[in-house]
Amino acid sequence: MTVARVTEITATSKKSFEEAVEEGVRRANKSLKQVKGAWVKDQEVVIEKGKIVEYKVKLKVTFVLTD
């Protein structure tokens, strides 16, 4: 039987939501073992002087627990 856990992480990018997702998944794989999936829970942007300066995503990351 497999048991998995879901954790929430936040990642940012100065370029795009897609890059923020990629960075979040890359970083999750560095810290967590057996990452199996992720989904975007929320997206937001940081605006300064009327321009988007940062893209932020909240990801739910699923990974399998090991003994």
User: Residue 30: how many CB atoms within 10 A of its CB?
Assistant: 8
pLDDT above 90: residue 63: yes
**Each residue of 41-61: pLDDT tens digit?**
999 999 999 999 999 999 999
- Can you give the pTM of this predicted structure? 0.88
**Each residue of 9-27: pLDDT tens digit?**
999 999 999 999 999 999 9
Superfamily of domain 4-64: Flavin-binding protein dodecin (3.30.1660.10)
User: Residue 42 pairs with which residues in a beta bridge?
Assistant: 58
Question: Which segments of 1-67 does DSSP mark as H helices, in order?
Answer: 17-31
User: Residue 40: how many CB atoms within 10 A of its CB?
Assistant: 13
Q: Is 17 helix (H, G, I), strand (E, B) or coil?
A: helix
